[in-house]
Amino acid sequence: MTKKFNEIYQNSIKNPEEFWLEASDNIFWFKKPSKILNKSNPPFYKWFEDGVTNTCYNALDIHIDQGNGKRTALLYDSPITGNKNKFSYEQLKSKVSKFAGALNSQGVSKGDRVIIYMPMIPEAVIAMLACARIGAIHSVVFGGFASNELASRIDDSKAKILVTASCGFEPGRTVEYKPLVDEAIKQAKHKIDKMILFQRPGHEVTLNAPKEVSWEEIVSNAKETDCVEMNSNEFAYILYTSGTTGTPKGIVRDIGGHIVALKWTMKNIYNINEGDIWWSASDIGWIVGHSYIVYAPLFKGCTTVLFEGKPVGTPDAGAFWKIISDYKVKSLFTAPTAFRAIKKEDPEGKFFSKYDLSKFESLFLAGERADPDTIKWAENLLKVPVIDHWWQTETSWAISSNCTGIEMMKTKYGSACKAVPGYDVKVIKSDKTLAKPNEMGDIVVKLPLPPGTFPTLWRADQRYKENYMSSYEGYYQTYDAGHIDEDGYIWIMSRTDDIINVAGHRLSTGAIEEVLSEHQSVAECAVLGIADKLKGQLPIGLVVLKAGVDKDNKIISKECVKMVRDKIGPVAAFKVVIVIKRLPKTRSGKILRGTIRKIADNVEYKMPPTIDDPTILSEIKQDLIKNNILKNE
């Protein structure tokens, strides 16, 4: 490790209270905390427990107090609708405090839950910050989620109000929200008090008063509202993530630690300063959208971009370059799958040459492992550092990264770099002993977790303990597998359930995918282990080709198999590569390997609520039948 980074990192691990006390001095407190860390009831640790603050004050009011109210807070760009807008900190505060007043007028107060089911429009950000202003707990549900999933979140959160819009837009189609919301409300056992609906121009829907009210109507009569003082350990939000039992897990975020940690990350991880232009190309329905579209950039006082579009198809594979060029974006944070999509459509980078990216300094990737081929492709095109970093919904910020604001470290392709200050990361083998450098195992984090992570699950303390804190005493189980090398670089190779056991040999899907992605015709790929009577499991590869490839699929498959056998070895027993049109993914870009595996093994599966396009699964099934992986029933 380099000296400067190493000193800061070691200090954060050896003296965590001193380290985070210093970081906490950079945020606004109504009452500064005197207790930095309460360790009396593990694993339920409490950071800054007697501090009093407010999330919205730290996102908006503080910058106006400091004379920066005219600075642009939010840039909105929707290539799907052609709409653009920008809001200064003063303008955004005015709209937020008005909507906060509107929520108050509907009976929402401190501690009440508000479901936000919205597309990527400024009103979604306004609703989140308005909840924070009055101390309500928001739960953002990805716009367009199935009705039963929305209903389960209404029931678990016992929400008072649901805020939605008339529709959302996808390339080539309109997603009507009102029928989905109506069905969810019908299914939910818990009944909300009121629905507030934002009418999108040209797509207005009929509302049934008095239970349903338009955004415009309630805002027109609302008064601006001041921030409510909140205890540091009260909750800012609930973000549901799919649970193994079928019941969604409500990840909660405590207010004080959330502000301290996220503000710290903007400079130290991303090298973003006040006034810089930052873009996180995600969705507010996911953790990346919460942390790095809305909260962290506004805590830091920079300008954040809200983009209603896709990396390809809105209108073409140059969509990202246009946004970076138009707004002089300093850094972009997106998922590797976005760049694989761009690479597939425009492998030569022809669209890139049309735009001026002279102000662009770095690209950060997270959400799924970034294969070396994609990173190298992006580096060659952009001529800036491309950084793969690793984090989770549970943590809300990076566990490992190249901390560019502290000290730029060398890239090791395939690694998510080193543990970020605050995280004491270890690898534990199946025999419960600590792994040596380069030994594969479960990746864990020593407790206590740093501020800004999840202190528990919503009304489910026991589930929190059993799911995350019981497998390895004193450690948080990440459910990711991999190794740490002799230089401290962390290699995330797969989810724990994506480890393939071939005749007793533990192989990671990530290692095989890394080889497949090096093939010059392959745009993206997935590897999964299918059941085999002789060897337990056998790996198969699914590959999607780059646009314009006219090589015979059988030749490509043979070449891919040979590459894996040459680089991984015969022990992988790797013999099957199937060329497919597209991979099934969640809306946030994660490949649904577990679902594909169940299809291949002819095991019953539930349609994933987060799937981007359900019709892909029937395509995959036909591909597996055609290649004799699955028998035609």
- Which of 6-20, 82-96, 489-503 shows the lowest mean pLDDT across its residues? 489-503
Fold (CATH) for 3-309+389-482: Rossmann fold (3.40.50)
CA dist list (Å): 30 to 51, 58, 69, 228, 268: 8, 11, 20, 10, 25
Domain 503-626 CATH (choose: 3.30.300.30, 3.55.40.20, 3.10.620.30, 3.50.50.60): 3.30.300.30
- Which of 172-186, 342-356, 617-631 shows the lowest mean pLDDT across its residues? 617-631
- Which of 32-41, 233-242, 454-463, 595-604 shows the lowest mean pLDDT across its residues? 595-604
Q: What is the dihedral of CA 439, 443, 447, 452, to 10 degrees?
A: 140
| 3-class DSSP assignment, residue 424 | coil
- Which of 98-112, 145-159, 242-256, 473-487 shows the lowest mean pLDDT across its residues? 242-256
Q: How high does pLDDT run on average in the chain? A: 92
The Cα–Cα gap between 261 and 241 comes to: 21
The Cα–Cα gap between 239 and 248 comes to: 10
Is the predicted pLDDT of residue 630 greater than 80, yes or no? Answer: no
| Interior angle at CA 173, CA 155 and CA 79, nearest 5 | 100
The Cα–Cα gap between 374 and 390 comes to: 16
Q: Which of 197, 287, 194, 196 is nearest to 238 (CA)?
A: 287
Domain with CATH 3.30.300.30 in the chain: 503-626
Q: Can you give the pLDDT at residue 368? A: 78
Q: Can you give the pLDDT at residue 1? A: 44
The structure tokens listed for 185 are 């409300």
Is the predicted pLDDT of residue 409 greater than 90, yes or no? Answer: yes
Whether the bond into 43 is cis, omega within 30 of 0: yes
Domain with CATH 3.40.50.12780 in the chain: 3-309+389-482
| Cβ atoms within 10 Å, residue 274 | 14
Q: Can you give the pLDDT at residue 64? A: 98
Q: Can you give the pLDDT at residue 629? A: 84
Higher pLDDT, 37 or 585: 37
